[in-house]
Structure 1
Amino acid sequence: MQATAYTYDSETRSGSVLLDDGTPVPFDAAAFDAGGLRLLRSGQRVRIETADDDGGEAPHITLVTLQTF
Structure 2
Amino acid sequence: MQATAYTYDADSRTGSVLLDDGTPLPFDATAFEAGGLRLLRPGQRVRIDVTEEAGERRITLVTLQTF
Contiguous gaps of at least 5 residues in structure 2? none
The structure 1 segments of at least 4 consecutive aligned residues displaced by more than 6 Å after TM superposition are none
The two structures have a TM-score, normalised by structure 2, of 0.97
TM alignment of 1:1-69, pairs within 5 A: 1-53=1-53, 55-57=54-56, 59-69=57-67
More strand by share: 2
In 2, Cα distance between the equivalents of 1:47 and 1:56? 21
Contiguous gaps of at least 5 residues in structure 1? none
Deviation at 1:41, TM superposition (A): 0.1
Aligned pairs, number? 67
Identity of aligned residues (%): 76
Deviation at 1:20, TM superposition (A): 0.4
1:40-60 deviation digits (Å, cap 9, x = unpaired): 00000000001111x222x10
